[in-house]
Structure 1
Amino acid sequence: MTPSTTITTVEPATLRQWITDHEDLVVIDVRSAAEFEALHIRGSYNVPLPLVSEHTEQLAERLGERVVLVCQSGVRAEQARQRLGAAGVETAHVLTGGVNAFAAAGGDVIRGAQRWDLERQVRLVAGSLVVTGLVGGKFLSPKLRTVAGAIGAGLTFSGVTNTCAMGKALSVMPWNKTTAAPTAAEAINQIPHPSA
């Protein structure tokens, strides 16, 4: 199979079966610690995307042939898959639909303190700023419409580059820091070495 035809996603029902059938399967959740605490797949390991990005080689050394990457929607997991692929982990899969799809498919999940996920927070803030810019532009000063334009430009840039500056900014807010983010050593060393 050529890299262009390699299947890089896995459906929730298939992942449920893989968890049952393969003891060597490693499920890596690349969401923030707070998101992980709210809902995660039983037996998964939390290695937030910034740690994956900063310690790709070290993480790649801990992974075997069966790896599934998980996030809320698949965007962050795909970023992690690409980084790990560049480090030699070519067999990683991204869970289609994220953790919520897995839970909806009857997958074994652990629920903790409920918080809004980061993507929902981004939609709320971006939408609120656009509405504020448009309303303020109508009633206060036409210059306030530039707020809506700036948010639109930022969302376009986010879509093209597959990054999210607003998400990064929101992730450091106090309400998203109730759970301590793991250190690189804590996150990576919890994953059993494939030779073990």
Structure 2
Amino acid sequence: MPGQVFAVHAACLRGVEAVPVTVEVTLGGGLPSIAIIGMPDSTVLDARGRIRGAMRSAGFEVPRQSITVNLAPGDMRKTGSGLDLPIVIAILALSGQIPLNGLDDCLFVGELTLDGSVSPVRGSIAYQVLARDLNLRLIGAPELAALSLPGCSYGLLAHISRLRAGVDTAVRCSGCFCARTTPARARFRRCRRSGDGKASYGRRSGGRAGYAYGRCTWFW
């Protein structure tokens, strides 16, 4: 869907802590390609090959368009292969290949193999702490169950092909995940600027997009 933007919750490690990252994807004209911006390291850039292979192996279509992936905030170095899963989910959601229901409530972390399987990444406890603090459900490889943190809700995703049925059906869930009184998107939300300069919020944005976390808001 050219001109539209879709984003999901993600994270990467800084030292021993996990910090929130917004993975934003848009489709455009031009030659088919995947461009990743937002200070990615070489491991993150390698995700382009893993994502193409995983999508094809899982029976999904790689959009024959120019795909731009923005990792916000743009002034922080993004490292690790754990961004593979949120990037592919954002691409699949924007291209209409998986349902959108439930994606806003999840924090996605995981490395992809070329056959579409989801592999674990280091820092499991750090990601669980972040997901618990944001009141989000952590979605990652089945190995998450081996070292679970009390109070953290997580979903186990073995293969991205299962996402055709929606994230709630695709994952095997554990932990307590109750309806929140303050939605995560109220603290870490997708929004667009209207003509009068006021911010309006939505699942997809064709205008200027931004994200708010705590008292900090990033717009571009």
Give the alignment's TM-score, normalised by structure 2.
0.26
| Structure with a larger share of its residues in helix | 1
Task: Name which structure has the greater RCO, CA cutoff 8 Å, separation 6+.
Answer: 1
| Structure with a larger share of its residues in strand | 2
Work out which of the two has the higher radius of gyration on C-alpha atoms and give 1 or 2.
1
